[in-house]
Structure 1
Amino acid sequence: MAAKKKTISADSSNPLGTLVNLWPYMWPTGRADLKARVVWATVFLLAAKLVLLSVPYFFKWATDALNGKLDMAGILPVFLLGAVVLVIAYNFTRILQVGLNQLRDALFASVGQHAVRQLAYKTFVHMHELSLRFHLERKTGGLSRIIERGTKGIETIVRFTILNSVPTLVEFVLTAIIFWAAYGFWYVLVTGVTVWLYIWFTIRASDWRIAIRRTMNDNDTDANTKAIDSLLNFETVKYFGNEEMEAKRFDASMERYEKAATDVWTSLGWLNFGQGVIFGLGQTVIMIMSAMAVQRGEQSIGDFVFVNALLMQLSVPLNFIGFVYREIRQGLTDIEEMFALLEVQAEVVDSPDAKALAIGQGAIAFKDVRFSYDPARPILKGVSFEVPAGKTVAIVGPSGAGKSTISRLLYRFYDIQGGSITIDGQDVREITQKSLRSAIGMVPQDTVLFNDTVAYNIRYGRPGASETEVQKAAEIAQIDRFIKQLPEGYETKVGERGLKLSGGEKQRVAIARTILKAPPILILDEATSALDTTTEHEIQSALDQVSKNRTTLVIAHRLSTVINADEIIVLRHGEIAERGTHTALLEENGLYASMWNRQREAVQAEEQLRRVRESDEMGVVVRGQPAAE
């Protein structure tokens, strides 16, 4: 059952709809302090525009005063009629306008960052809500870069929309009113045509650049994905000596990125040049009109200067409108994929009336369970078995039989296509995922650790555990002595994915954190697969102690680890081929007995080889001794 979530549209052809959906982040519910900042930022924004429009007037009046033709007596205060005072007032208003803009930006900074944080948090939470299938099919490096660019794009859109688009429109309207009132309709017409052509050209050119930007982003994501994949598989690269191949793959992506990025900057140059030509021609026409009016005696030199200053001021927000539009469109391009992630619906969700698991004895029951990752390839074909409360049941079988799939279904990483899985009679699809997973402890086949300390990775089983409890869990998992031998003890960093530890050490840490979690149900999915035979015997007793009086499901490859299980189920091709105790299955002389004999022969051969090696080493030592005199 898929969840229907209200998400932000990624339709770049409808930026207004996207901005409407972004409004809750610019006007956050329940945050009166941030709303107040938005209001005050808007007030200072409008005040800055009014102050800005007064700047050309002071320039005009100062010019007329220097020319001896200032005719503002009775309009301006007497102390403002001097040229020097007007020059001071001109520069003071410019400084005041800059100050108001900076105050506006400072007030709005927390609003923009809050929006970025909320959307980043929403995306992060959503990523953890998505199914295991989604994460197995995606690449971590690409996802991280998508989220990184998306959050930056959100900040761009939020800040530029509220701080620049509306104020620029207000400034244009006020400029048109001033031109009409002071100089007539033709000045407004030329200005309006110039602005319209400027915006039209900017939109067309920016739309053309969007495709180039998208290509650049795709290659950037591809290069980042290859880099992270290569670094995560550092040892594999070294094993096969393929450093040069990895470098070539990365450089090929960067070469495509280089070309696309060059095209982005080249197209930006053409866009800026076209904008300059359009505005320059419009300004030329208006300046010629004003110059001719001065020659006719209809305007003063101050008017000529005023018209030029007002146009120059208008060119700044106009140029910024082009920048804002480009940034918003490019921001939309950057967040397209992040929006797409938000629109991906979770495959496994809690039902509307889901209740918390009421754990009792912890009995597990699989009833006619059918499941497939791909409809064309069934994995489980009507599997039915029970794990009685406090008992241990083992699942064994050849590779690909569906053993690990059973543990994933019990954890509800996937929903089954038929049958039911219950815990104490409660169908796992009718209980909350959080309560289900809190009742189950897992020691997986492939242990991956966080790049943090040993203590952090053990405490991950129960974050509130004390230091004493962490050490106790390590003792039970037979890893405390090893940890104490480390230079920094429990504070030793384990490295990326735990690569500083051996496979056996990582497995013991996984066992320790599961012990610390102390769940009523335990899953051991090939828990000793990374351990040598000697270590396996040492740790098996610890696992037996941990699973005592707990409902335990063991997924095993090494049959020697399950001989004491209350029941052993043998899977073959997604069906139960045999079931019974270790002794009973050996007596049947079927698939289990065949697997047991092969593994026993392999162990015996390994033991014999070990003895031969030890004998050879002893022989070398004896032959190396000096002859007796």
Structure 2
Amino acid sequence: MLLTSRQLVAAIKAIHYAYPGLLLCYFVLALMVTVCTLQTQRLRVQDQHVRRDVILGLMFGVTLSYLAELIVLLIQVIVSNESPPEDCTVYLIASTICFGAQCLALTDSKFPVWYPYYVTWFLGLLVELILLVIPNVFAPPETPFAFTNIVIQSIRVCFFAILPSLYFALRNDKKEYDNGDAERQSLLQKKLSGKPGSEDSTKSYGGTTDTNNQESDNSEASDAGSEDSWLARQREAEDKIKKRLEQDGNWFTYARGFAIFFPYLWPVHDRTLQFRAVLVGFCLLASNAFNVLVPTQMGRMIDSLTGYLLEEDPTRKPNVWIPVAVYALLRFVSGGAGIGWLKKWLWLPVEQYSYDALSTASHAHLMSLSSDFHDNKTSSDLTQAVHGGRSVTDLLETVCFQVLPMFIDLAVAFAFLWTLYGPYMGLLMASTAVTYLYVTTKLYSRRAAKRRDYITIYRKEWTIGQQSLDGWNTASLFNMIPYERHRYACAVKEHMSSKKDYEMSSQAIGAAQSLILSIGLLGALWLGVFQVVYRAESIGKFTTLLIYWAQLQSPLTFFASMYRQISYSLMDAERLLELFQTKPTVTDTPNAKALILGKGLVKFDRVSFAYDERKPTLKCVSFEVPSGKTVALVGETGGGKSTILKLIDRFYDVKSGSISIDGQDVRDVTLDSLRGKIGVVPQDPMLFNDSIMNNLRYARLTATDKEVYEACKATAIHDKIMSFPDGYNSKVGDRGVKLSGGEKQRVAIARAILKQPEIILLDEATSAVDTETEQLIQEGFKTLCKDRTTFIVAHRLSTIMKADHIIVVMNGEIVEKGTHDELLHSGGKYHDLWSKQIFVKPSPTADRSRSSSPKKRDATLVNDLTPQRQTKELAKVLKTIPHDQQPGEDNTGKKDGKKAECSGHKREVSLTFE
């Protein structure tokens, strides 16, 4: 019977120790599974909140029952003046912590998944029935509080019996999902002004009642229209993550989407780097070991000194020098000069490999994307995506070299303190860690609104200051310098006020963290002092406790901010992942061959194209340009002229029809060979922030200085460049800002001449130069375009009068074709365009003459010619006008008339020059 009693006591003790730990481990693991598989989003039922409130009350009752029994136990200890049974105390404290954590989790979850909870109810019901029946039947306790404990245990059993019954009785088998709940809203809330049917902005993502438990989470914007650009990008990134998570179904599938980065993060083909990475893993495990060895050795060193002082026999005094030397050695090895240096030395080549591989791959991929991507890009966003995408490496390091080691540190700390000081110390550490993390994350979530305001106001100050400096010229012209000063001063004051609030909230969080750690340290010190005083533990052991407890602050602080760091890394990586998943729309076909250029015959065959399918840009365009001829494209702005040039150079592919060069479809030849044969002078040339010489040589890197000079002379820019202080070594500034528009165009034309292409595309190549310079450039064009197929887009019709063929493009269609003379005499659209540039309106004299005599006309000439050349140019212009439309004799007798000869006729024409 005695053996049976001992077995019974041992079984009860085992249950007391194992039950709370198993319960908590299951609950945490199950909760992690629900989060990773996103079941909280799939198992939403509209009436769950009613059931949740009732169940939450019952679970608070369970928690309070454990706490009440613990209080009764403490009263019993005080009355009887005896030490409480350790297993019972641990059981009550641990159970209170376990079910208290469940209550907190359920409080923060608006639409919970229930299996992490109801499994603990069944387990609790089973264990509590055993603890209620077996001890009271086979070994009834003889204490004055036995009846009170039985009552409390019975109430707790009733709670455990009611919980699953209530859950399954109120279970709604008809899944009516709430489509308007908070989990379908964006991660960063903002008001949807003007939309009365929008969701309730008080709901928050993730099923929490107020805000999520991280610093970067939801806070309502004051105005959606004025949302800061940085915060808007953050919100969009989080929305993309949420969308991909919903599509993938769980975090594991989501994480597999980043497998595209694996070859850039892990040196798959370098065994040496892989071996280095493995050694880094051993270094991390060694660091965890040293985190225990250093405090332990400190205690031994203190014990050796204490023993040396207390030992009266000189022959038996311990050696105090060896423990000191070992402690110093351990501190050195565990510090930055030891294992820290070794870990950095091993990891640095792997880190550089990742940076190199990811950066070059990102840049190469972006450069391979087509014009439809680059025409819609924002350079700052791309740069931020590429540089921020490198946080994938940081994410790998965070998970592998911080999260895992910190978990190991906490687990080892829990086990080490439990072994060294018993279960009370382990429970104290667990309570401190859970309280620290919960309070910190809650305070961070409440600080989210202040953080958003601070970022918005800070960026507002920066924007106002930058705009004022950039717009100094405009502010000076309008005498608004005092206004800009006042505006910036107000922004600075607002920034300082917001910063004060934000930093004070940070200080409040720091104070709360310090308070929790101080309370935990106080409890640990009490336990340590108790064991030293009443259980004769050594002072060295107490010192070990102090040193080891101080090391716990680092992992706790890291875990408090871990989610924020990982979420930021994921947002940056999401942008880069989106870029990597973007594929070029214009690529070489599998059987593409190099372009073989013969005569240079370019043919458009029923070509249709649209940037946006809702608005066609080109409609069934067909024409042919013979070899070595020059064709001009004219028409209204937005008619499709520049698009034709882009299609020839294959910046876009046609939607239907075909473009061929010497019978070869441009889609069937390689892009390198096609663009290598084509020279382009764009309407708005882009120059690199480099010297003029390097910008010119960009067309042909092997060109000599003499060839560069000849190209510049052909475009009338050589003398201008030589007048600069540094000549051809002069820097042109960002995008050529130090050059005038005409100078940039002439540099671009010289660059095209230097390339020596077979096909030439000129898109408003002389739109930014004056008439006299244009005449000089036209001479250079003779050299450039001689025996080459040339396309010219121009609005100034005087530049294309000598083109072999002119095509008038209106609304994406060809409305006229022909030479200058043919189109002018046809009286069509080209004639109208010419008339608008040369004869804008008839003068009042002409109106009266036309009404009296159809042969007597007058007109207003609009041109940018100097007065000395007006008479000469007028004769040239009049030769191009049909005979029946030429000006007649003027009988007004005005003294400002000018003489002009036209087609052998001597006439006096009254002109009003504007």
| 1:328 partner letter | I
Could you tell me which residue of structure 2 aligns to residue 61 of structure 1?
Answer: 300
Query: Which of 278, 284, 299 is the equivalent residue of 1:45?
Result: 284
Could you tell me which residue of structure 2 aligns to residue 596 of structure 1?
Answer: 834
Q: 2: distance between equivalents of 1:511 and 1:461?
A: 11
Shift in CA distance, 597/231, structure 1 to aligned 2, threshold 3 Å: farther
Could you tell me which residue of structure 2 aligns to residue 581 of structure 1?
Answer: 819
Asked if the contact 1:525–1:555 (Cα under 8 Å) also holds between the matched residues in 2, the reply is yes
Shift in CA distance, 464/261, structure 1 to aligned 2, threshold 3 Å: farther
Q: 2: distance between equivalents of 1:140 and 1:54?
A: 52
Query: Which of 460, 482, 492 is the equivalent residue of 2:698?
Result: 460
| 1:581 partner letter | T
SS at match of 2:621: strand
Runs of 5+ unmatched residues, structure 1: 1-7, 73-77, 613-629
SS at match of 1:385: strand
TM-score normalised according to structure 1 size? 0.82
Query: Which of 375, 379, 399 is the equivalent residue of 1:140?
Result: 379
Q: 2: distance between equivalents of 1:488 and 1:501?
A: 14
Query: Which of 353, 360, 372 is the equivalent residue of 1:121?
Result: 360
Query: Which of 393, 397, 400 is the equivalent residue of 2:631?
Result: 393
Give the superposition deviation at 1:52.
Answer: 3.1
Give the superposition deviation at 1:580.
Answer: 0.8
Shift in CA distance, 106/214, structure 1 to aligned 2, threshold 3 Å: farther
Could you tell me which residue of structure 1 aligns to residue 873 of structure 2?
Answer: none
Give the superposition deviation at 1:94.
Answer: 1.4
| 1:606 partner letter | D
Give the superposition deviation at 1:171.
Answer: 2.3
Range with greater deviation from structure 2 (330-339 or 414-423): 330-339
Could you tell me which residue of structure 2 aligns to residue 358 of structure 1?
Answer: 595
Query: Which of 494, 503, 520 is the equivalent residue of 2:758?
Result: 520
SS at match of 1:527: coil
Give the superposition deviation at 1:386.
Answer: 1.7
Asked if the contact 2:586–2:651 (Cα under 8 Å) also holds between the matched residues in 1, the reply is no
Q: 2: distance between equivalents of 1:291 and 1:536?
A: 95
Shift in CA distance, 384/248, structure 1 to aligned 2, threshold 3 Å: farther
Q: 2: distance between equivalents of 1:71 and 1:241?
A: 86
SS at match of 1:523: strand
SS at match of 1:607: coil
Query: Which of 337, 343, 346 is the equivalent residue of 1:107?
Result: 346
| 2:586 partner letter | V
Q: 1: distance between equivalents of 2:594 and 2:491?
A: 49
Residue pairs, 1:414-563, within 5 angstroms: 414-563=652-801
Give the superposition deviation at 1:291.
Answer: 1.9
Asked if the contact 1:351–1:429 (Cα under 8 Å) also holds between the matched residues in 2, the reply is yes
SS at match of 2:638: coil
Q: 2: distance between equivalents of 1:355 and 1:79?
A: 91
Matched, 1:567 2:797: no
Shift in CA distance, 269/33, structure 1 to aligned 2, threshold 3 Å: farther
Q: 1: distance between equivalents of 2:484 and 2:648?
A: 39
Tell me which structure has the larger Cα radius of gyration: 2
| 2:530 partner letter | M
Asked if the contact 1:9–1:18 (Cα under 8 Å) also holds between the matched residues in 2, the reply is no
Could you tell me which residue of structure 2 aligns to residue 348 of structure 1?
Answer: 585
Query: Which of 835, 857, 865 is the equivalent residue of 1:607?
Result: 865
Matched, 1:27 2:266: yes
Could you tell me which residue of structure 1 aligns to residue 401 of structure 2?
Answer: 163
Matched, 1:404 2:642: yes
Shift in CA distance, 526/239, structure 1 to aligned 2, threshold 3 Å: farther
Give the superposition deviation at 1:216.
Answer: 6.6
| 1:34 partner letter | L
Asked if the contact 2:716–2:773 (Cα under 8 Å) also holds between the matched residues in 1, the reply is no
Runs of 5+ unmatched residues, structure 2: 1-237, 841-860, 871-914
Give the superposition deviation at 1:396.
Answer: 0.8
Give the superposition deviation at 1:354.
Answer: 5.6
Range with greater deviation from structure 2 (552-561 or 592-601): 592-601
| 1:290 partner letter | G
Q: 1: distance between equivalents of 2:316 and 2:683?
A: 86
TM-score normalised according to structure 2 size? 0.58
Shift in CA distance, 444/223, structure 1 to aligned 2, threshold 3 Å: farther
Q: 2: distance between equivalents of 1:240 and 1:33?
A: 66
Give the superposition deviation at 1:542.
Answer: 1.0
SS at match of 1:445: coil
SS at match of 1:528: coil
Could you tell me which residue of structure 1 aligns to residue 513 of structure 2?
Answer: 275
Shift in CA distance, 124/472, structure 1 to aligned 2, threshold 3 Å: same
Q: Percent identity?
A: 35
Could you tell me which residue of structure 2 aligns to residue 413 of structure 1?
Answer: 651
Give the superposition deviation at 1:526.
Answer: 0.8
| 1:92 partner letter | L
Q: 2: distance between equivalents of 1:271 and 1:253?
A: 27
Q: 1: distance between equivalents of 2:467 and 2:667?
A: 35
Shift in CA distance, 252/444, structure 1 to aligned 2, threshold 3 Å: farther
Q: 2: distance between equivalents of 1:289 and 1:190?
A: 10
Asked if the contact 1:578–1:585 (Cα under 8 Å) also holds between the matched residues in 2, the reply is yes
SS at match of 1:544: helix
CA deviation profile, 1:544-591 (whole Å, cap 9, x unmatched): 221112221111112222222221101122211110112221221222
| 1:400 partner letter | G
Could you tell me which residue of structure 2 aligns to residue 86 of structure 1?
Answer: 323
Q: 2: distance between equivalents of 1:236 and 1:312?
A: 59
| 1:319 partner letter | T
Shift in CA distance, 611/410, structure 1 to aligned 2, threshold 3 Å: closer
Q: 2: distance between equivalents of 1:350 and 1:79?
A: 86
Range with greater deviation from structure 2 (171-180 or 256-265): 256-265
| 2:610 partner letter | S
Query: Which of 553, 556, 568 is the equivalent residue of 1:330?
Result: 568
RMSD between aligned residues: 4.0
Asked if the contact 2:771–2:865 (Cα under 8 Å) also holds between the matched residues in 1, the reply is no
Q: 2: distance between equivalents of 1:127 and 1:247?
A: 41
Which gives a bigger RCO, structure 1 or 2 (Cα 8 Å, sep 6+)? 1
SS at match of 1:449: coil
| 1:168 partner letter | M
Q: 2: distance between equivalents of 1:238 and 1:404?
A: 38
Could you tell me which residue of structure 2 aligns to residue 3 of structure 1?
Answer: none
Q: 1: distance between equivalents of 2:826 and 2:400?
A: 77
| 1:607 partner letter | L
Give the superposition deviation at 1:452.
Answer: 0.8
Give the superposition deviation at 1:522.
Answer: 0.9
SS at match of 1:28: coil
